[in-house]
Amino acid sequence: MAMEGLRPIAEIQFADFIYPSFNQIVGEAAKIRYRSNGEYTCPLVIRTPYGGGVRGALSHSVSIEALFYHVPGLKIVAPSFPDDVKGLLNAAIDDPDPVLFLEHKKTYRLIKGEVPDGHYTIPLGKANVRKAGTQLTVVSYGLYLHWALEAAQRLQEENVSVEVIDLRSIRPMDKTAILTSVQKTRKLLIVHEDNKFGGIGAEISAMVAEEALFSLDSPIRRLCGPDVPSMGYALPLEEEFMSSPAEMADAMRAMVKF
Amino acid sequence: MAIKPEAQSKVSLERHGLTDEQLVAILRTMLMQRTLENRGFQLNRQGKIPFASASEGHEAVQAGAAMAFERGKDILVPYYRDLGLALGIGLTPYEVLLSLFARAADHSAGRQFPHHYASRRLGLHTISSIIAAQLPHAVGAAFALQYSGETGRAVLTTFGDGATSEGEWHESVNFAAVHTLPIVFLCENNEWAISTPLSKQMGQPDVFKRAEGYGLPGGVVDGMDPIACYAAVGAAMQRARSGGGPTLVEAKCYRFLSHTTDDDDRTYRSPDEVQARRKDDPVPCFERLLVERAVLNAEQVEALKRGVLEETNDATDRAEAMAYPDAADLYEKVYAEGWEPWTV
């Protein structure tokens, strides 16, 4: 449909069920423009609810972003706030290339916020500093972004100043926003729910190590999902997989003290 | 419907409304396909190109099907063994040679394998190497036609017998049947999925029988007979264009050469088998038929062959003289303008 001039918006409910279409997304959609030298394009938006903490067990909890963010030709968006969802979804629909639009399913009911009337867009590939701070940069997205903000607010009450960056777009990634913040705070903590090994945090920390190692006052730290399938159904298993604002606050304190 | 209940070995004598000019055009497409394909293998053996793939034995089904395709209206979503189909709907030998030589002026700008064309001008979708990956694109294009209220247009999609074992094939055929989409599924059953024979591919030898299970008409046609293929695909396309829904057409043909220049078919099938099937070679059979029916005389056939060879030689020289893409082109067209490859 996208190759014949329409702008289809597909929904894969849930992200865990996207694997059978991996071939079409990675092998086909992402390469249509490249392999036809622009004669054909694939302006497709795929919305998909991802993430856990909702008693979704092993097939309704997965974070899929790392499986796709390696792929040239794709764009990946993961907004956390209602106003960003609208602006970024409009931008994704306008975008001339395929966009994977990730919606954390626990934020559907947990997060409330004003959504401006009328049509507006928020550019893909731009992060947003949700809380300004001076002693530590925290980069996150999705549900954990909200928990990281909550933790940072707690630290504010302890007179610890943490800057929280809402990544919003995973690919392209806003390298400038991350580097600008890290050069100011000199410390970087990456927080995400997806498994740690090979996750988004690995790419961000490698990028910062390459570009800003000598601006850092402490090792980069990643607070991420454990490297096990996400996630066990029984409450203790789910709780063990998921992080919490308290755990994030502890990680932030430790880094600021380093 | 012109689809026959069983495959026939004799080339049909029915014209199905085709004029002399159309019959000659079909033969010319078949001759051009064979000549260009041989040219690809020659260039490979000369060390001039790294790779070429084969479609020898598919000339009849492709030239016949191409004659049933309405240029400027229909959409073709083919696979990588469709040289003759692409030629038949208007791709030029020069464009084929640009693809073989991987030149900058090729439709993929030298990024794709040979014979993986794309032409918006012709309604020819960009071709994938991945088996059956084109099927979801094809039903998507058909769905787009239906969704946009476009009548009088249809999608023709093609694939080999091996593709019919893929999940995407079954999902696509089912989707087309459910939504009564304007599409024709044309199986070019050449009995070999690279090295896997049909007997190891399916529990029974007929692809068209699968149609019934999905609720769409299916028929089989002699894939060595271009007129029969034209008639079967033409009837199915007409049905699709007029809102009658999808059809599965199986054309029984044969792959005479190895899968590609990198494959040696002697390792998995006997030369005797191939030799035995040569008696049905559609190119000399159709050539003979047109002479017997006095559509062409022997001299005219020779002139046709000479013209095809001259055009191929000319296209070869012109394409070879063209430039490779610049190394910098590696970074182009990953995303739209202004979104050039992003990297950390």
Residues A102 and A175 in one domain: no
Q: Is A63 within a domain?
A: yes
A199 to chain B, closest Cα gap in Å: 15
B333 touches chain A (CB under 8 A): yes
The parent domain of residue A165 ranges over: 128-257
Q: What is the mean pLDDT of chain B?
A: 94
pLDDT interval class at B12 (50, 70, 90) = low
Gap from A159 CA to chain B (nearest CA, Å): 34
Could you tell me if residue A117 is inside a domain? no
- B203: containing domain: 20-331
Which residue of A lies nearest to B331 if distances are taken between CA atoms? Answer: A34
Q: Which of B120, B137, B171 to mutate to test the interface with A (most CBs of A within 10 A)?
A: B137
Cβ of A40 within 8 Å of Cβ of B143? The answer is: no
pLDDT at B342: 61
Please state, for a pLDDT cut of 90, what percent of chain B lies above it.
93
Is residue B230 annotated as a catalytic residue, yes or no? no
**CATH number of A32's domain:** 3.40.50.970
Closest residue of chain B to A174, computed from CA coordinates:
B344
Judge whether A45 lies within some domain: yes
Q: Would you state the pLDDT for residue B8?
A: 41
Instruction: Examine the fold and report which residue of A110, A137, A168 is the final residue of a domain before the chain moves on.
Output: A110
Residue scoring higher pLDDT (B339 or B194): B194
Residue A116, in any domain of the structure = no
Query: What value, to the nearest 5°, has the Cα angle with vertex A35 and ends B336 and B333?
Result: 25
Give the confidence band of B128 by pLDDT, cuts at 50, 70, 90.
very high
Nearest chain A alpha carbon to B121:
A39
Burial of A132 (0-12, 13-18, 19+ CB in 10 A): exposed
Over 70: is that where the pLDDT of B267 sits? yes
In a domain, A221, yes or no: yes
Domain-embedded: residue A141: yes
Single-letter amino acid, residue A245: P
Between CA B13 and CA B23, with CA B18 as vertex, the angle to 5 degrees is 80
Examine residue B181 and state whether it is found in any structural domain, yes or no: yes
pLDDT of residue B344: 44
Which of A110, A145, A163 marks a domain boundary? A110
Ranges of chain A with pLDDT below 50: none
Position A120 in a domain: no
- Count residue pairs from A and B with Cβ separation < 8 A: 96
CATH of the domain at A141: 3.40.50.920
- Please report whether residue B63 resides in a domain: yes
Residue A121 lies in a domain: no
Question: Which of A3, A6, A75 is closest, CB to CB, to B147?
Answer: A6
From A127, A134, A92, select the one nearest A200 (Cα to Cα): A127
* Structure token pair of residue B282: 């559609």
Residue B341 has a pLDDT of 61
Q: What is the pLDDT of residues B293-340, one digit of tens each?
A: 999 999 999 999 999 999 999 999 999 999 999 999 999 999 998 876
A132 & A234 share domain: yes
Residue in A2, A125, A173 nearest the CB of B344:
A173
CATH code for the domain of B53: 3.40.50.970
Please tell me the total count of domains within chain A. 2
> Looking at residues B218-224, what average pLDDT do you find?
98
Q: How many domains does chain B have?
A: 1
Which of A1, A41, A203 has the CB atom closest to B144's CB atom? A1
Tell me, yes or no, whether B168 lies in a domain.
yes
Domain assignment present for residue B49? The answer is: yes
Q: What is the pLDDT of residue B7?
A: 39
**Domain identity same for A44 and A156:** no
Interchain proximity A173–B111, CB inside 8 Å = no
Position B9 scores a pLDDT of 38
| Tens digit of each residue's pLDDT (9 = 90 or more) over B34-57 | 999 999 999 999 999 999 999 999
A142 and A251 in a single domain? The answer is yes
Q: Is B17 a residue whose pLDDT tops 70?
A: yes
Nearest CA in chain A to B118: A36
Give B14 or A247, the one with higher predicted confidence. A247
Q: Are strands A45-50 and A9-11 parallel, antiparallel or unpaired?
A: parallel
* Nearest to A248, CA basis, from A207, A202, A208, A190: A190
Contact residues, chain B, for A33 at CB < 8 Å: 333-336
A60 is catalytic: yes
Residue B146 has pLDDT above 90, yes or no: yes
